Amino acid sequence: LIETIHSTAKLGAHGVWGSDPTQTGVKRLALSDLDKQIKDWFIQETKALGCSIKVDNVGNVFATYPGKNNSALPTGMGSHLDTQPTGGRYDGIYGVLSGLQVLRTLKENNFVPNYPITLVDWCNEEGARFPMSMMASSVWAGICSKETVYQLKDVYDNKTTVEDELKRIGYLGDIECSHSANPLKCHFEIHIEQGPILESMQRKIGVVDSAQAYTWIEVTFMGVAQHTGTTPMEFRRDALLASSKVILDINKMAKSHGGLATVGKLDLQPAVVNVIPEKVTFVIDIRHSDDVAHQEMEQEVEKILKDAALNTIGNGIPLEVSSRTLYKSPVNKFNKDLVALIESSAKEIVGEDNLHHMVSGAGHDSCCTNRLIPTAMIFVPSKDGISHNPKEYTDPKEIELGFRVLLETILKYDSL
- Binding-site member from 274, 299, 324, 352 for ligand URP (CB under 6 A): 274
- Find the DSSP H helices in 180-329: 197-201, 239-257, 291-309
Distance of alpha carbon 318 from the chain centroid? 37
User: What is residue 74's DSSP assignment?
Assistant: P
- Binding-site member from 147, 158, 180, 229 for ligand URP (CB under 6 A): 229
Q: Kindly tell me which of 167 and 252 has the beta carbon lying closer to a second copy.
A: 252
86 binds, options a second copy, ligand URP, none, Cβ within 5 to 8 A by partner type: a second copy
Which region among 148-156, 243-251, 313-321, 358-366 touches ligand URP (by CB under 6 A)?
Answer: 358-366
Cβ-Cβ contacts under 8 Å for 167 (sequence gap 6 or more): none
Q: 227: buried, middle or exposed (CB in 10 Å: 19+, 13-18, 0-12)?
A: exposed
Smallest distance, Å, CB 169 to ligand URP?
22
> Residues 349, 398: contact at Cβ < 8 Å?
no
Q: Could you say which residues in the range 147-206 bind ligand URP, by CB under 6 A?
A: none
> Residues 280, 267: contact at Cβ < 8 Å?
yes
Site residues, a second copy (CB under 8 A): 84-86, 127-128, 131, 133, 193-196, 212, 214, 216, 224-233, 235, 238, 240-241, 243-245, 247-248, 251, 254-255, 260, 262-266, 268-278, 283, 285, 287, 313-314, 326, 360-363, 382, 385-389
Query: Per CB under 6 A, does 8 bind ligand URP?
Result: no
Cβ-Cβ contacts under 8 Å for 381 (sequence gap 6 or more): 192, 193, 198, 199, 203, 204, 206, 394, 395, 398
Rounded Cα distance, 217 and 227, in Å: 30
- Binding-site member from 57, 98, 133, 375 for ligand URP (CB under 6 A): 133
Smallest distance, Å, CB 393 to a second copy?
13
Rounded Cα distance, 10 and 81, in Å: 13
Q: Kindly tell me which of 173 and 361 has the beta carbon lying closer to ligand URP.
A: 361
The footprint of ligand URP (CB under 6 A) covers 91, 125-126, 133, 227, 229, 274, 362-364
